[in-house]
Chains A and B, each alone.
Chain A
Amino acid sequence: QSVLTQPPSASGTPGQRVTISCSGSSSNIGSNYVYWYQQLPGTAPKLLIYRNNQRPSGVPDRFSGSKSGTSASLAISGLRSEDEADYYCAAWDDSLSGPGVFGGGTKLTVL
């Protein structure tokens, strides 16, 4: 059971806009940056969003991140079949004396 809660699944049709939520608390999302990763089947995760809403170079602007209070969201616009993957949020948790924590992951299906 992760301290960051994500819906286990999400879906959309090509061209649609989809959002994936990540819910936490004041000790993690509420007071720290949120990061998002995409994991395509059989591959290592890839950084999509850092510091809540920043995109690394090479990540399409179809991907955007936002944060409000103790929740964060990843939005994917103009959905494509290649976006079908698992998505994970991550954040530092001040109440834990260790590295960051990941959400449980959301499997995105492109219908």
Chain B
Amino acid sequence: QVQLQESGPGLVKPSQTLSLTCTVSGGSISSGGYYWSWIRQHPGKGLEWIGYIYYSGSTYYNPSLKSRVTISVDTSKNQFSLKLSSVTAADTAVYYCAGGFEVLRIDYWGQGTLVTVSS
């Protein structure tokens, strides 16, 4: 059974870069067909897709975040990562890493990690 675990700082200062890593266990991140996503949820609000990376390396980002987002994969560590630059308080949210065989069919979720943007 595939399991995902997010890791990274829980507190980031405004204007800095938010960096999170998702470690995948129970399966290979480079196995054919998987889409690996980052999704966030502002406190008390709904879900927002940040973007995803396909096992082949192609990426798609939410247009509203595209200029600040980078999602990458490290196959040697079976991890994928999120970088969100120039953060503001509006980026405070629970960040989930997730994966599945279709972009929108997310079978596997991390537990989520709260990232607070504050000085």
- Contact partner of B46 (CB less than 8 A), chosen from A43, A88, A97, is A88
Q: Which chain A residues numbered 60 to 111 have a C-beta less than 8 Å away from chain B?
A: 88, 90-92, 96-105
Instruction: Type the 1/0 row for B85-119, where 1 means its CB is closer than 8 Å to any CB of A.
Output: 00000000000101010111111011110000000
Interface contact B49-A98, CB-CB below 8 Å = yes
Interface contact A90-B104, CB-CB below 8 Å = yes
- Contact partner of B102 (CB less than 8 A), chosen from A37, A50, A88, is A50
Given A44-B112, A105-B46: A98 and B63 interface contact (C-beta under 8 Å): yes
- Contact partner of B47 (CB less than 8 A), chosen from A45, A46, A98, is A45
Chain A residues positioned under 8 Å from B107 (CB to CB)? 47, 56
Interface contact A104-B49, CB-CB below 8 Å = no
Given A98-B61, A99-B52, A99-B62: A104 and B46 interface contact (C-beta under 8 Å): yes
Interface contact B111-A102, CB-CB below 8 Å = no
B93: min CB distance to chain A, Å:
13
B51, B96, B98, B106: residue with the most chain A Cβ atoms closer than 10 Å: B106
Task: Considering the complex, give the chain A residue whose CB is closest to the CB of B48.
Answer: A102
Interface contact B105-A47, CB-CB below 8 Å = yes
Chain B residues positioned under 8 Å from A96 (CB to CB)? 63
Chain B residues positioned under 8 Å from A92 (CB to CB)? 103-104
Interface contact B109-A44, CB-CB below 8 Å = yes
A43, A88, A92, A102: residue with the most chain B Cβ atoms closer than 10 Å: A102
The 10 A-B pairs at the shortest CB distance, nearest first, are namely A44-B109, A99-B49, A105-B46, A50-B105, A102-B47, A100-B104, A98-B62, A35-B104, A98-B63, A104-B46
Name 10 A/B residue pairs within 8 A (Cβ), A-sorted. A35-B104, A35-B106, A44-B109, A45-B47, A50-B105, A88-B46, A99-B50, A99-B61, A100-B49, A102-B47
